[in-house]
Amino acid sequence: MRVLDWGHVVPHRAPRVRHTTRTPDELRTLLEVAAGRRPADVYLEGAAVLNVYSGELYPANVAIAGGRIAYAGPSRGMVGPETEVHTYPGKILAPGYIDPHTHVTGMATPVEFAREVLRTGTTTLVADAMQLMLQTPPGRLAPLLETLAAMPVRILWAIRLHGSSHLPDEAAFSLERVQALLGLDVVRTVGEVTRWPAVYYGDDDLIQKIAVALAAGRRVDGHAPGASYDRLSALAAAGWSSDHEAITAAEVTNRLRAGMYTMLRHSSLRPDVLALAEAVTPERARSGRLMLTADGPEAATIAREGYLDHVIRRAIAAGIEPVLAYQMATLAPATYVGLDEDLGGIAPGRRANVVVLDDLREPRPSTVFADGRIAARDGVCTAAFPEIAWSEFIPRRFAPAWDPAPELFEMPAEPSGGATVSFPAIVLENSVITRRRDVPMTVRGGRLEVPPSVVRLALLDPGGRWIVRGVLGNFVDRLGGLASTFNVTAHLTVLGQHTGDMARAARRVLELGGGIVAVEDGRTVLEVPLPIGGIMAADRFPVIAERAAALYAFLRDRGYPHTDPHYTLLFLPLDSLPDVRVTYRGVWDVRRGRVLVPRCDLCEQG
């Protein structure tokens, strides 16, 4: 027997990605270890095991071989001279946490996002692949998804059936590409399908893609905020498997009644679990269709509060019984993605993803095992993660090949000196929901004079071929210029009250290759470089979180009144949220499906 020396932490090495089937030799190894005829690689003893299958907590030891659990019970017959033995008296062994629906949108790469969440107990993510589909050439996407799945945190993928905003070309989400990606074992779901009205009214392209996904044995993640029970039922009939958009207990109940898996969300944008917990009765819990999700919180929140450990903690505080809260973050999501024979519990044959807890009511682990090896201890990640040459997968999207001039951000109008016109402003109701409000503007010299109650807003093509001009209200009180490539389309958004500062911020963002830049009085006062596709940086997560926190403090200091500036910037072009958005087509009325202010094609102007 070899007892681990805690002064030397054995690093985790990522396994090769493969299907969940096991070879005869692997099955034989697990059998021999379980029967005590062969020594285990690793043996955990002295703790109580949280059994998510039987819903109980009881003393048991865990034997691991080849990265999988071979045995969980009282026997020590599989402990040999070379077995690593870890003793945890008074501790609890629980399965590693699984998030069934997340977005790696915290400005960090998927590698750094995974490294950060691993240290607090999350060992599996089902992540939105939208930005990777949008920015990675078709021949390079599958290798990238598989490489990112072969990490200590296993990232499984949800592929999109459509973009998140109007785009010049939606080839990235074609039926042919979706079919090809569904052949990857690491792709477990499709969605989230944010264009739920299109599905409801029978959009042929989306119905075909949903049918292809279901035929491939994949789940369909829905997104239907505010939909009535009858409409949810229709969407379920059209193939939807789940929805995470409930914001009341009644909406949770409606989704369950429609036969959907239902995710209780607690994120930086929507910390809803306190309100949703009311719907979690013992009867509904027995369905196994309730799950917890963090739904992609921004980086500063993750660094400050944790990830799924924080969601579980809040769920327990909201009154959800502790064992059930863990089942909702382990077994239920594993079952949802069809991997419950592989993940989600401490039982023979499952991957040895185990967290060591001091108390069931405190989900922050002292030690994390991923595939049978120590991957984090005392909040410090010790696992080895791959180095990704991002330029090989995501071509440079932003470059200083053109020079945005201050005049570009003026609001042109038909000459009629002194006349007042009504302009449709986009006004933030909260961090992400907008409403139209018509703002009076005076026409002088062929331009609209923008009042100080709003800021100028422009959406530009990265190459300077077109621009959409509008105004944004209830964002900040004062702002020289802020340029950002951090949004769901990876286009360039520019906001501000001074066209010179806006132009300087836009130029600097292009020089950085993407990111967020603020300029005041001609001087750059804040920079968040995001050179990977304009949405990510390869820096370590704490660095990303610090930069994000500085950005949020900058905006709040200038009067930002809402809770989550991260998602304000990210969602400005998102065409599925009410009420008015800035998209490739122009300033877009979401509810009526029409352009309020058209796009201007700059190449036509010479």
Q: Can you say whether the dihedral through the CA atoms of 266, 271, 273, 276 is positive or negative?
A: negative
Q: Which of 32-41, 47-56, 594-603 has the lowest mean pLDDT?
A: 594-603
On average, the pLDDT of the chain sits at 94
- Specify the amino acid at residue 231: R
Q: Can you say whether the dihedral through the CA atoms of 24, 30, 34, 40 is positive or negative?
A: positive
Which are the contacts of 281, defined by CB distance < 8 A and separation ≥ 6?
none
Q: Which of 255-269, 383-397, 433-447, 590-604 has the lowest mean pLDDT?
A: 590-604
- CATH fold of 96-317+385-392 reads TIM Barrel (3.20.20)
CB-neighbour burial class of residue 3 (10 A; exposed 0-12, middle 13-18, buried 19+):
exposed
Of all residues in the chain, what percent carry a pLDDT higher than 90? 91
The CA distance from 148 to 302, in Å, is 20
Q: Is the pLDDT of residue 307 over 50?
A: yes
Of all residues in the chain, what percent carry a pLDDT higher than 70? 96
Q: Is the pLDDT of residue 299 over 80?
A: yes
The CA distance from 88 to 79, in Å, is 16
Residues β-bridged to residue 305: none
Report the C-alpha dihedral over residues 505, 508, 512, 514, rounded to 10 degrees.
Answer: 30
C-alpha of 213 from chain center: 21
Two structure tokens written together for 143: 């290798």
What are the CA-CA distances from residue 71 to residues 344, 416, 521 (Å)?
15, 82, 66
Q: Per-residue pLDDT tens for 325-337? A: 999 999 999 999 9
CB 232 within 8 A of CB 258: yes
Q: What is the DSSP string of 224-286?
A: -TT--HHHHHHHHHTT--EE----SHHHHHHHHHTT-EEEEEB-SS-B-HHHHGGG--HHHHT
Q: Per-residue pLDDT tens for 216-247? A: 999 999 999 999 999 999 999 999 999 999 99
CB 61 within 8 A of CB 70: no
- Specify the amino acid at residue 477: D
Q: Per-residue pLDDT tens for 153-185? A: 999 999 999 999 998 888 999 999 999 999 999
> Which pLDDT score is estimated for 21?
75
Residues β-bridged to residue 423: 439
Q: At what angle do helices 110-118 and 138-149 cross, to 10 degrees?
A: 10
Which are the contacts of 196, defined by CB distance < 8 A and separation ≥ 6?
222, 223, 224, 227, 231, 235, 576
For the chain, how big is the Rg over CA atoms in Å?
25
The CA distance from 547 to 299, in Å, is 9
CB-neighbour burial class of residue 281 (10 A; exposed 0-12, middle 13-18, buried 19+):
exposed
What are residue 230's phi and psi, to 5 degrees? -60, -40
Find the helix or strand (DSSP H, E) in which 130 lies: helix 130-135
What number of H helices and E strands is found in the chain? 19, 33
> Which pLDDT score is estimated for 363?
98
Q: What is the residue extent of each domain of the chain?
A: 96-317+385-392, 406-605
Q: Is the pLDDT of residue 535 over 60?
A: yes
Beta strands in 31-96 (DSSP E): 42-45, 48-51, 56-59, 61-65, 68-73, 84-87, 92-95
Two structure tokens written together for 253: 């109940």
Two structure tokens written together for 442: 């005076």
pLDDT-based confidence at residue 20 (cuts at 50, 70, 90): low
> Which pLDDT score is estimated for 417?
65
pTM here?
A: 0.94
Tokens 């949280």 locate to 50
**Residue from 262, 310, 299 nearest 103 by CA:** 299
Q: Is the pLDDT of residue 16 over 60?
A: no
pLDDT-based confidence at residue 9 (cuts at 50, 70, 90): very low
Q: Per-residue pLDDT tens for 478-492? A: 999 999 999 999 899
